């Protein structure tokens, strides 16, 4: 099972970075390329512990839906989402936030997934899926960073 670990340093308050990472609206903005849209569950605002969201998107040319639930949350330092329904055999994503010196935050993603279809799925993981998922996370984190550091985060966070 592939595990991706991605660290992003963001110059913004810890609470802002944490909330942007769980903003449904920012997620849709950051994934415009794949057309991700929240279609059920929490479809706008900030997702909380125990809640779920169903996403519709196009990845690798295939339309799909994916339902994830927030299975753990320790504000403003950690939350985890797990796939409850979707194309992967399994998927979980830990979001870890640590305040650093000089007003910076370390946002760490620990993303585990397993493709379906046994040996064929493992081959897909090795050939292209792991790189695809890493690029997807990097692009999303870059948007979180840009929005947090630009001060435009108020658009995505409740007043």
In angstroms, the CA 119 to CA 123 distance is 6
CATH number of 3-155: 3.30.530.20
pLDDT digits (tens, 9 = 90+) for 8-34: 999 999 999 999 999 999 999 999 988
DSSP characters over 33-60: GGT-EEEEES-SSB--TT-EEEEEEEET
pLDDT digits (tens, 9 = 90+) for 87-130: 899 999 999 999 999 999 999 999 999 998 888 888 888 999 99
In angstroms, the CA 139 to CA 122 distance is 24
Has this prediction a pTM greater than 0.85?
yes
In angstroms, the CA 98 to CA 82 distance is 21
């Amino acid at each position: 099972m592939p595990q991706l670990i991605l660290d992003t340093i963001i110059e913004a308050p810890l609470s802002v970075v944490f909330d942007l990472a769980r903003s449904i609206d920012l997620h849709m903005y950051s994934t415009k390329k794949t057309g991700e849209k929240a279609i059920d569950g929490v479809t706008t605002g900030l997702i909380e512990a125990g809640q779920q969201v169903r996403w519709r998107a196009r990845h690798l040319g295939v339309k799909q839906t994916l339902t994830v639930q927030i299975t753990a949350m320790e504000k403003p330092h950690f939350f985890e989402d797990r796939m409850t329904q979707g194309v992967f055999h399994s998927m979980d994503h830990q979001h870890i936030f640590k305040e650093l010196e000089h007003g910076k935050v370390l946002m760490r993603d620990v993303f585990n997934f397993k493709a379906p279809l046994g040996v064929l799925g493992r081959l897909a993981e090795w050939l292209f899926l792991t790189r695809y998922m890493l690029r997807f996370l990097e692009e999303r984190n870059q948007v979180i960073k840009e929005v947090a550091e630009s001060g435009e985060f108020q658009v995505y966070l409740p007043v």
